[in-house]
Amino acid sequence: MSKGILTSPVGTEDHAQGPENAPVTLVEYGDYECPHCARAHPIVQEIQRHLGDTVRFIFRNFPLREAHPHAEHAAEAAESVAVHEGEDAFWEMHDLMFENQEALEDSALVAYGGSLGVDETALADDLVSGAMANRVNTDFRSGIRSGVNGTPTFFVNGQRYDDDWGDPAIFAANLRSLARAPARR
């Protein structure tokens, strides 16, 4: 386990928003039921709006199963939506779950997926069978290897970000300065 360094590099299997060649890659390990992640969600969206094509955002699942009983299925539901409807639908589901964090039981997850065009029976079957559990666990294990022990945990250009993320202005300023800094090898 390496603290401070993203040990699983960003790849094609990651859920990404923004250009691949953006000078800043922001990776979040998050939990859909975590209140801190819900607080970070609009902040990340604001950062994306302000920094535009200079930032690429990656979301990886890190459900804290013992603390948040619906987090695992919420992550699996997002992955199921991605498989059935594509990457854009993943991000819509991602947003829906953070915006409706108080309702993440399976019936609500299936309804959210249905509102995005996913066959509700297929999504319910995926949740019952655990069809997306391996995908969620892959993200989780990569977080553990990178020293993630809570959510949200951010990495910027492969380095753990331990500065203030709760103030969008400070977060954006820090990311802007990283965007201008020469890349580390």
Domain-embedded: residue 34: yes
What value does the mean pLDDT take over residues 161-178?
86
Q: Residue 185: which pLDDT band, with cuts at 50, 70 and 90?
A: very low
Domain-embedded: residue 31: yes
Q: How many domains does the chain have?
A: 1
Domain-embedded: residue 6: no
Domain-embedded: residue 91: yes
Domain-embedded: residue 72: yes
* Residue 112 pLDDT greater than 90, yes or no: yes
Candidates 106, 94, 123, 116; CA nearest to 31 is 94
pLDDT of residue 181: 64
pLDDT of residue 182: 57
CB 61 within 8 A of CB 55: no
Q: For the range 121-129, what are the long-range contacts, defined as Cβ-Cβ under 8 Å and sequence gap of 24 or more?
A: 122/80, 122/84, 123/77, 123/80, 123/81, 123/84, 126/76, 126/77, 126/80, 126/83, 127/73, 127/76, 127/77, 127/80
Candidates 59, 48, 55; CA nearest to 13 is 59
> What is the span of the domain harbouring residue 126?
15-180
Domain-embedded: residue 95: yes
What value does the mean pLDDT take over residues 137-149?
97
Domain-embedded: residue 171: yes
What would the pLDDT profile of 77-87 be if each residue is shown by its tens digit?
999 999 999 99
Domain-embedded: residue 2: no
pTM above threshold 0.85 = yes
Question: In angstroms, rounded to a whole number, what is the distance separating the alpha carbons of residues 18 and 22?
Answer: 7
Q: What is the CATH number of the domain that holds 19?
A: 3.40.30.10
